[in-house]
Amino acid sequence: MGAEIISSDRIPTDLVPVISVLCEVSRDVARIIAKGPLAGALGAGVGENTDGDQQKALDVMADEMFAAALGTAGVRFYASEEQEQVQELNPQGRYALAIDPLDGSSNIDVNVSVGTIFSIFEAKDDAEASFLRKARDQVAGGYVIYGPATALVVTFGHGTMMFTLDPESGRFILTDDAMHISDTSNEFAINASNYRHWSKPVRAYIDDCLAGDSGPRDRNYNMRWVASLVAETHRILSRGGVFLYPGDARPGYENGRLRMVYECAPIAFLVEQAGGKATDGSDPLLDRTAEALHARVPFVFGSAEKVDRVATYHDLPEQEISALFGQRGLFRG
């Protein structure tokens, strides 16, 4: 039985079949995850994807489940983190769908929230050209979070909505028709273990947050880091804050580790539609075009004021950034 979407009138008619299939497969994935070890070694390594990241058993399983179902829903082209090239699912399909089938899979075995991220474009005649285009061309973007509750968070360019899965009926029910990112949160998310590799603007921003109420920001901050993009996004959409995954000095990390097409672009779309901002550290992420299907990009998103402040640090002349490490107090408030 398909997964019914309550308040599907909020979804563009032509996209209802795609969203319905995404919900149906996500419901099945949620059931597998809920079984934990009873479903087998879901977190076992089974190989590497094209970027050299280890694939977990559930990564591959989820990818196969979504690919098998979406061809019946009007999806022509399917681009996945787990596949080197674009697949053509349905030559008569209207849409091109990019997906990270199981985001945060390193957290499966420790029972932390994971998710599925997706981006939808109108398909072009060329497979890769359908995805290598300005991120603002998306007609829909969203994620499903598998946690204490399973929820679909999605935008079609007219606000960000959340549908929560009722485990008894198997239906996704509209529970928030206008998510809005708070401006008042004092939280930031970044992997602080990489501090020594960051650029000076990123270190200066984090230093000022860590200085607390005796520093230039005049307030105390809390750090969060889940290492699951969906979990980080859901927290920020729910209560504000800022997330940073910058490029750094390590080989292979010049553009961070998050992929533009099927991770950053849809999250940026959701965040902007919820009143926040998303950048590559300086410029709006949605104005960028991916250079390759699996291309990575630095990513900063969250409450608008906080994202703007990170961009300000990046815009400072080198000598002023260097001075920040010896003399605080350039920024107030």
Is residue 57 within 8 Å of 30, Cβ to Cβ? no
Tell me the backbone φ, ψ of residue 256, rounded to 5 degrees: 75, -155
Q: Supply the angle between the helices 229-239 and 265-273 in degrees, to the nearest 10.
A: 10
Each residue of 174-221: pLDDT tens digit?
999 999 999 999 999 999 999 999 999 999 999 999 999 988 888 999
Give the DSSP per-residue string, 50-99: TTSPEEEHHHHHHHHHHHHHHGGGTEEEEEETT-SS-EES-TT--EEEEE
Angle (nearest 5°) at CA 267 between 201 and 264: 60
pLDDT given for residue 109 in this prediction: 82
**Assigned token pair, 229:** 């993009």
DSSP strand pairing (222-224 vs 187-189): parallel
Domain 187-324, CATH among 1.10.3720.10, 3.40.190.80, 3.30.470.20, 3.40.1190.10: 3.40.190.80
Confidence class of residue 328 from pLDDT cuts 50, 70 and 90?
Answer: very low
pLDDT at 11 over 50: yes
Contact 24, 3 (CB under 8 A): yes
Mean pLDDT of 48-68: 78
Categorize the per-residue pLDDT at 105 as very low, low, confident or very high, splitting at 50, 70 and 90: confident
The Cβ-side half-sphere exposure at 43, using a 13 Å CA radius, reads: 15
Q: What's the token pair of residue 211? A: 């200085």
Region 8-176: CATH code: 3.30.540.10
Spell out the domain ranges in the chain: 8-176, 187-324
d(CA 41, CA 63): 17
**What's the one-letter identity of residue 4?**
E
Residue 58 pLDDT: 86
Please give the distance of CA 262 from its chain centroid, rounded to a whole number: 8
pLDDT-derived band at 10, boundaries 50, 70, 90? confident
How buried is 52 (Cβ within 10 angstroms: 0-12 exposed, 13-18 middle, 19+ buried)?
exposed
Q: Residue 331: pLDDT above 50? A: no
**pLDDT of the residue at 309:** 94
